[in-house]
Amino acid sequence: MSDTLDHSDRPWLDPDTAPFIKVDGITKKFGGFTAVDQVDLEIFRGELFSLLGASGCGKTTLLRILAGLETPTSGKVWIDGVDITQLPAYERPVNMMFQSYALFPHMNVAQNVAYGLKRDGIPKEEIVQRVGQMLTMVELSGFSKRKPHQLSGGERQRVALARALVKRPKVLLLDEPLAALDKRLREQTQFELMRIQEQLGVTFIVVTHDQEEAMTLSTRIAVMNEGRFIQIGPPTELYENPDNRFIASFIGSVNLFAGHTLTRNNDLYTIALNKHDLQCQIEHTQHLDNGSPIWVAVRPEKITLSTTPLAGEGLNQLMGTVDDIAYTGNLSTYRVKTQSGDIVEVTHPNQSRSRGSQLIADWDDTVYLHWTSADSVLLSE
Ligand code: ATP
């Protein structure tokens, strides 16, 4: 195998690639309240990067600092090697798309998209050509004469996107870009947004509180809480290798079993669960003393449920009774009460149409839960 790895689609892994946007020790205080607390961040050219977190965690404040709409209390921001911390918003190579879209109601679609170019004194012919190109890209060519109130929510979102992109910013900042759309349209528009971003190669930074949206859209996600980054990584890394219980629970569902370390052999720890008669072995690269408190995290879809016990090397097994079953069409979720009284969630895809054959166990059945050590993660905090 070659030891020269191609990091062209994952530039954050390449130490020779310079970040396009660099946020260095940014703090923002409002009076005595710290909204953004000493954050460092590197975003690479062409990324679709998401800031994800619950309401009030500081993500919009950070986006507004990047846009130049908010001044940081301390720290610096660079774009393309230039320190832009003191640069006013209108001189920055960025554009922002607001959650409300902020379209001018008295202007038609083409006038809305053309507005910024006109203000910059771009020649009329070029404006017509660039607006036309943008409307084609967002698939609204036939809508140029309509006013915003004659459009659906999804169409308004695309006009706002065209208006933000027509000025060819190096970076587009999007504050909850799909929040005004219903679930179906939001899902459809996520793919549209990805297509347009890929086609233009513009770096997108998206603020969202919707973890599914962040997972679908992003090259990488920074999960924020109380003004700080808890973990930054690609969606699969956050989901499969969370750093801590906060991330494991915030991204998707998880079963957490409290335990402690017994022994370590290289990177393989033997763990005892506190409330279950089960020892398991899990790989973990960081040092933990014997007896350290830990948590074993297992995703509900990684657990197999059966009505008979299974034996196998490296197979972890717990017994319980089915407490509840939730049918959600594509999946069934089994809530299993173990002998310790804990509830463990297991999801199972519903592959066949007949409900009778989908159920692998019924209410109050005794069942066995199995997972392999490789499908569980050891968390120390
Ligand atoms: P949401 O998803 O609800 O928009 P957010 O993560 O984007 O939340 P921010 O808007 O960045 O959160 O706000 C972070 C914190 O800073 C909040 O507690 C908010 O009340 C506070 N805050 C934001 N702007 C100001 C301001 N101008 N003055 C005082 N406090 C502010």
Exposure letters 79-108 (e unless 16+ CB within 10 A, then b): beeeebbeeeeeebebbbbeeebebeeeeb
CA of residue 36 to ligand 1 center, whole Å: 9
Instruction: Report which protein residue has its CA nearest ligand 1's atom 25.
Output: 30
pLDDT of 350 over the 90 cut: no
State the closest ligand 1 atom to the C-alpha of 224, by its place in the atom list counted from 1: 6
Instruction: Report which protein residue has its CA nearest ligand 1's atom 28.
Output: 30
Return mean pLDDT, the chain: 91
Q: What is the pLDDT of residues 37-94, one digit of tens each?
A: 999 999 999 999 999 999 999 999 999 999 999 999 999 999 999 999 999 999 999 9
- Can you tell me the distance from the alpha carbon of 167 to that of 169, in angstroms, rounded to the nearest whole number? 6
Exposure letters 179-202 (e unless 16+ CB within 10 A, then b): ebbeeebbeebbebbeebbeebeb
Size of the chain in residues: 381
What type of residue sits at position 275? K
Mean pLDDT in residue range 199-210: 93
- pLDDT band, residue 358 (cuts 50/70/90): low
Any residues with CB less than 8 A from the CB of 71 and at least 6 apart, and which? Answer: 65
| pLDDT for the residue 41 | 97
Among 2-16, 211-225, 266-280, the range of highest mean pLDDT: 211-225
Beta strands 228-233 and 94-97, pairing class: unpaired
Mean pLDDT in residue range 96-120: 92
| pLDDT for the residue 3 | 44
Q: Tell me how crowded residue 374 is: count the other CB atoms within 10 A of its CB.
A: 11
| pLDDT for the residue 218 | 95
| pLDDT for the residue 22 | 97
Query: What whole-number percentage of the chain has pLDDT above 70?
Result: 96
Contact status, residue 16 vs residue 8, Cβ threshold 8 Å: no
| pLDDT for the residue 108 | 96
Q: Tell me how crowded residue 226 is: count the other CB atoms within 10 A of its CB.
A: 14
Residue-by-residue DSSP string for 157-218: HHHHHHHHHTT--SEEEEESTTTTS-HHHHHHHHHHHHHHHHHH--EEEEEES-HHHHHHH-
Q: Which residue in 257, 262, 249, 340 sits closest to 296, CA to CA?
A: 257
State the closest ligand 1 atom to the C-alpha of 62, by its place in the atom list counted from 1: 11
- pLDDT band, residue 356 (cuts 50/70/90): low
Integer CA distances (angstroms), 125 to 54, 138, 229, 346, in order: 45, 20, 46, 60
- Can you tell me the distance from the alpha carbon of 365 to that of 360, in angstroms, rounded to the nearest whole number? 10
- Can you tell me the distance from the alpha carbon of 173 to that of 50, in angstroms, rounded to the nearest whole number? 10
| pLDDT for the residue 100 | 77
CA of residue 276 to ligand 1 center, whole Å: 43
Any residues with CB less than 8 A from the CB of 214 and at least 6 apart, and which? Answer: 50, 52, 206, 208, 221, 235
Residue 117, CA atoms < 13 Å, CB-side half-sphere: 24
Beta strands 171-175 and 21-30, pairing class: unpaired
pLDDT of 355 over the 60 cut: no
Instruction: Report which protein residue has its CA nearest ligand 1's atom 27.
Output: 30
Instruction: Report which protein residue has its CA nearest ligand 1's atom 29.
Output: 30
State the closest ligand 1 atom to the C-alpha of 64, by its place in the atom list counted from 1: 11
| pLDDT for the residue 314 | 66
Contact status, residue 205 vs residue 164, Cβ threshold 8 Å: no
Instruction: Report which protein residue has its CA nearest ligand 1's atom 18.
Output: 56
Q: What is the pLDDT of residues 270-319, one digit of tens each?
A: 999 999 888 888 989 999 999 999 999 999 999 999 999 887 766 789 99
Q: Which two tokens stand for residue 298?
A: 């297992």
Q: What is the pLDDT of residues 114-141, one digit of tens each?
A: 999 999 999 999 999 999 999 998 889 9
Q: Tell me the best of 57, 98, 208 to mutate to test the pocket of ligand 1, counting ligand atoms within 8 Å of each CB and taking the most.
A: 57
Name the pTM for this structure. Answer: 0.90
Q: What is the pLDDT of residues 144-186, one digit of tens each?
A: 999 999 999 889 989 999 999 999 899 999 999 888 788 888 8
Q: Tell me the best of 29, 36, 51, 61 to mutate to test the pocket of ligand 1, counting ligand atoms within 8 Å of each CB and taking the most.
A: 61
Instruction: Report which protein residue has its CA nearest ligand 1's atom 21.
Output: 35
- The ligand 1 site (C-beta within 6 Å) comprises 30, 33, 35, 53, 55-61, 209
Q: Which two tokens stand for residue 253?
A: 């569902």
